[in-house]
Amino acid sequence: MALRQARDAWTGAGDPVARLYRRASTTLSLEQLLGIFAEELASALPYGQLVYRHRLGHQDFVYSTGTGGSHRCDYQLTLEGINYGALALKRRTRFHEEELEIIEYLLGILICPLRNACQYALVEQAALTDALTEIPNKRALDMALVRDCSIDDRHGDNFTLILCDLDHFKDVNDNYGHVIGDHILKATAKALREATREGDSIFRFGGEEFAIVLPHTDSDDGLEVADRIRAGVSQIRVPFGDHQVSVTASAGVASHRRGETPDQWLARADDALYRAKNGGRNCTRVAHVVKGSKTQPV
């Protein structure tokens, strides 16, 4: 009976400290955890904006809620000597000492769940990242295609997919070794990043094949991006003794059609890539769709 009463008192407590203790243990999502903290802090004291920043692996994570002000307080969040990000609070009026004590007390409750959420986010990121090139992998591509198909079907946004394959890459590995081949692959990922916009998504699709998803882009613009990518890849040079190893690339471009499944979209891009490879390589081909009884490029 005493244990049940203690439990009921704990779960029924309405103060921010007790609620934060309870709620912070319910999620490993970094975004959800910060949302919980923002809500409970707001119930304890007024503030205008909360901003959290942290470098997680190869990505910058930013969480922000509210609007700012001229007064702020900043905290570096560390536990056992390890940094778990920076948190800033802003508002129009100065923070008083009593309020700073409340903030620091609640941050003390947050830090252990925050560490767990950061570690979980790193595990998730590793599962979706290609270890060699440090760009998202095929699993991440599959998830992105599902998401983008849904967005296009609901809102009519244009998405274009490019599949890019290095020509005769097996010969590179056979003639120069896999170490040189790995350098080529890493340089290709870099060339793709340089040839695309910040909002575009790059993936290592498998082996020497890469995928690029371009939002708000039709097939004509996708063709231009694919040719720019191929030009960047052709500039790659990896030293091998007195020799400079270089490669070219072939590309297939397919804009998503409303109602098309991710597998169908990917298959059309892959067919365009196949035609580019059969057409002599080091070129780009655009996918086809059936319109009436005729097959036409899009």
251: β partners: 164, 284
Angle at alpha carbon of residue 82, lines to 76 and 88, rounded to 5°: 15
One of 40, 99, 208, 260 is an active-site residue; which one? Answer: 208
Give the whole-angstrom CA distance, residue 99 versus residue 105: 10
Joined tokens for residue 2: 């005493």
- Residue 276 burial (CB count, 10 A): 26
Active site residue 260: no
Of 110, 128, 137, 131, the closest CA to residue 54 belongs to 110
- Which is it for the CA torsion 55, 57, 59, 61, positive or negative? negative
Residues with catalytic roles: 208
